[in-house]
Amino acid sequence: MPSFSDVLEFLSDTWKNEQDKIGRQSQALIMHLRQTAAKEATEGTLCFDGEDRTAKLYENHYDSLNHGFQFQPQNKFPPSMGLSLLLRHHVRTGNASSLSMVVDTLRAMKSGGIYDQIGGGLSRYSTDYRWLVPHFEKMLYDNALFVTTLIETYQVTGAKEFAEYANDALAYIDRDMTSPEGAFYSAEDADSEGVEGKFYVWTQEEIEAVLGRQTASIAIPYYNVTPHGNFEHKNILHLKQGTHDLARTMGLDEPVVKEELAKARALLLETRSKRIRPLLDDKVLTSWNGLMISAMAKSGRILEDPDRIRRAEKATDFIFKHLRKPDGALLRRYREGDARYDGYLFDYASMSVACLDLYEATYDARYIWQAHELMLMVEKKFASDGAYYETASDGENLIVRQVTGYDGVEPSGNSSAALALLRLSAYLANPASEQKAEKIFRVFHEDLMEYGLNSSFMMQASHLYLGGLKAVAVIGRRDSDMLQTIRRG
């Protein structure tokens, strides 16, 4: 075997004596990589078959005991985009299984340890089947997508519990994840003082000391607290029964139980706030702020909460003030007065969708035009022969510019772009925007038909396209009852 010095000497000699050959081989390799990355539109028929297959795949992976979907040997990630797709499948087909998977999974997540029962907010994933033991890190995008799914489920079912869940998660965002200027921070770490989950877990003795005997006697069974704990001799708080069942078991009136539990939660939150907190990732990311602005705007519109809408507007103003260059191009991140890095496709598309959600919440036409301007910038900077590139044409000089439609833990840029284009085509009576969205669907036609589990957000956009875009003009006072009813959707 040659020594490392022999290898270096060989490389040096080759570079000196065969540069032309190396150059030709390099160019051939680069061309091959670019051809492999390129995606062209197909002529396949766009239809709901892919959505139907994907709904069946979700059903095949459904954990009917603990709820959610079992895609990995142990971990469970919040499947918010998949649940939103299943909601649309239910609305279109009447499929009861699709709806029950959504409802039961949301309830299981909200009741589990993956959800912070005291402070609100969803952790990144569960390390077990039961949604009990989370990786305690909290991400802005997870909570934005979770809230959006909750609000949509409330729209479909009319069940107030989902509106309450959404409000609880957003209260956490208001309190712990919002900057003084109104933008949204990125994440909270999993550990404090070097111990994962230390900020969140309790011993029974700690709870009894904080709450006193009477309140603790109700809170301890409600949160399933035991002397031995369920996580390294401490307790991850979680729910197995509602207040109605607990009141019946304890022989108490339900209003009394609810009052004591509200008192318990407030006291535990106050006590916990004195602990050393996990590290706050206080970056402001354009794309993730877009997701949360959408969640805030939708919740404000549907739940008739003007404060939520104002918060969404404030965050939008921040992004356009601090993360937009004079030529209209977006930057990717802001921290402590420093904005930098050219925006990716998802930054533009996510903010475009957010502006459209704000328009629907306010009827302020400037948000339509802001969304339109962002998508014009997308066309200028990201256009290819097929779908859009992830990076801008005037950005970093990469060997290969990727084109992807994969919806992982967050929507892809192309998925969000397709949704923005479709909605703009209706609002601006612009068929060209719809044609651009259709081109995206054709580029990723195989993914939509065969790999729908990885395309849940794009499939939501294609659902809108296949269902047919219809524009209805309503003339009247903005504060009229009819217009407010229409706005709530």
pLDDT at residue 29 greater than cutoff 70? no
Q: Distance between the two ends of the chain, CA-based, in angstroms?
A: 71
Q: How confident is the model at residue 159 (pLDDT cuts 50, 70, 90)?
A: very high
For 453, which DSSP code?
Answer: G
Range 144-164 average pLDDT: 99
258-302 pLDDT, tens per residue? 999 999 999 999 999 999 999 999 999 999 999 999 999 999 999
Structural domains of the chain sorted by starting position, each given as residue range(s) with its CATH number in brackets = 49-65+139-188+282-488 (1.50.10.20), 200-272 (no CATH)
Range 443-468 average pLDDT: 94
78-124 pLDDT, tens per residue? 999 999 999 999 999 999 999 999 999 999 999 999 999 999 999 99
The values of phi and psi at residue 243, to 5°, are -65, -30
Q: How many CB atoms lie within 10 A of CB 249?
A: 11
Which residues sit opposite 285 in a β-bridge?
Answer: 333
Range 208-224 average pLDDT: 97
Q: How many CB atoms lie within 10 A of CB 6?
A: 10
Range 206-214 average pLDDT: 97
Best CA proximity match to 260, nearest among 294, 211, 227? 211
Provide the whole-model pTM. Answer: 0.93
Report the run of H or E that residue 126 belongs to, with start and end.
Answer: strand 123-126
Range 387-409 average pLDDT: 88
- 3-state class (DSSP) for residue 243: helix
